[in-house]
Amino acid sequence: MAFLQFLDHLIPYDTFLNDVAARVVKMLKTDSADPEYVSQRKAYDMFGRANVERWRKQGKVEPCKRPGKLEYRTADLRFLQRATQDYFKD
């Protein structure tokens, strides 16, 4: 049986894979109702205006310019939402 070693304990590889698979399934179910693109206003509502503006300033997300409005890919915003943020970097 294979094990993964972490700093504080060992975890059987099968347990690790099952936990990862369960988390992926949960994320897929949560994100399945998301539209492909959301307007800037909706992005601000869903993820917070400060977050969206910071991600855009840092070049982590680019809006898609449509006639009369800006839209963001929801998958990109979800990815950034789940990523660990370093608020002390510019």
pLDDT in tens, the chain (90 residues): 788 788 788 888 888 888 888 888 887 777 777 899 999 999 999 999 999 999 999 999 999 998 989 999 999 999 999 887 766 665
Provide the whole-model pTM: 0.67
Question: Quick check: is 65 in a domain?
Answer: yes
How far is the first Cα of the chain from the last one, in angstroms, to the nearest whole number?
45
Distance CA 34, CA 42 (A): 11
Half-sphere exposure of 25 (CA within 13 A, CB side): 6
| Kind plus residue range of the DSSP H or E element containing 42 | helix 40-47
Residue 12 lies in a domain: no
Domain around 44: 34-90
Q: Where are the alpha helices (DSSP H) in 10-73?
A: 13-31, 40-47, 49-57
Q: Is residue 8 part of a domain?
A: no
69 belongs to a structural domain: yes
Kindly state whether residue 24 falls inside one of the protein's structural domains.
no
**Distance between CA 29 and CA 7 in Å, rounded?**
32
List beta partners, residue 66.
69
How many domains would you assign to the chain? 1
